[in-house]
Structure 1
Amino acid sequence: MSDYLPSIYTKFLAQFPEVAEAQGAVAQAVRERTPFDERTDRLLKLAMAIGAQAQGAVKSNVRKALQAGAGLDEVRAVALGAITTCGFPTAIAALGWIEEVAEAP
């Protein structure tokens, strides 16, 4: 697993720095308001990203959850939990995205 930023995100940062800064400020305000520790917060965000079928957000939150101390088994469990809530195809897609992040150098 690497700490790389996807090219689409780095292009966004370069092209719209004021929007990126504003979005970052909103994200920070939300983080400061949450009662959850960072690990739990990242697992919750991962679950929401899986439900939204947002590949980029899933991969980003997998990386961030692992960096925050979540184990790969916990990350996979979030995707498995999506089977009964979001459907089997959504969960399988998420598991594939999780493995892509886990296998990255």
Structure 2
Amino acid sequence: MSKSMPGAAGDLADDYPEIWNAYAALGKATADCGPLTDREKRLVKLALAIGAGSEGAVHSHTRRAMSDGIEKAALHQVAMLAIGPLGLPRAVAAKTWIEDIEE
């Protein structure tokens, strides 16, 4: 497994490095294509993970946000902002997924 990533993503990176490198290059290109700050990009990615209903992605983006020094209150606000467009159950799930990493 890749030392930089846990789980299946790390395994994929180890097993198919050329695919992972292409995927990483695409991620860098999309991150660099506009004016958003690093903080804004991190919070948007968390919101997209919540919208997709992906617990693993919410965990990953929460972990990265905390590593970047983004405060817990901002992460919780992203989850609460999901109530309107996604519904209370999705927002509650997102909050619990964020809290999984905060502990």
**What TM-score does the superposition give when structure 2 sets the normalisation length?**
0.90
Partners of 1:39 and 1:69 within 8 A in 2: no
**CA RMSD across the alignment:** 1.2
Amino acid corresponding to residue 89 of structure 2 in structure 1: P
- Distance in 1 between residues matched to 2:34 and 2:56, nearest whole Å: 23
Spell out, residue by residue over 1:4-45, the C-alpha distance to the aligned partner (whole angstroms, 9 max, x if none).
Answer: 732212111111111100000001111111211111110011
- Distance in 1 between residues matched to 2:67 and 2:40, nearest whole Å: 12
Q: Please name the residue that 1:91 is paired with.
A: 91
Secondary structure at the counterpart of residue 30 of structure 2: helix
| Moved >4 Å (runs of 4+) | none
Higher relative contact order, structure no. (Cα contacts within 8 Å, ≥ 6 residues apart): 1
Q: Please name the residue that 1:11 is paired with.
A: 11
**What's the CA shift for 1:68?**
2.3
Q: Please name the residue that 1:59 is paired with.
A: 59
Structure 1: gaps spanning 5 or more residues: none
**What's the CA shift for 1:69?**
2.7
**Structure 2 counterparts to residues 1-105 of structure 1, below 5 A:** 5-103=5-103
Structure 2: gaps spanning 5 or more residues: none
**What's the CA shift for 1:91?**
0.7
Amino acid corresponding to residue 18 of structure 1 in structure 2: E
Partners of 1:45 and 1:61 within 8 A in 2: yes
Q: Work out the percentage of aligned pairs sharing the same amino acid.
A: 37
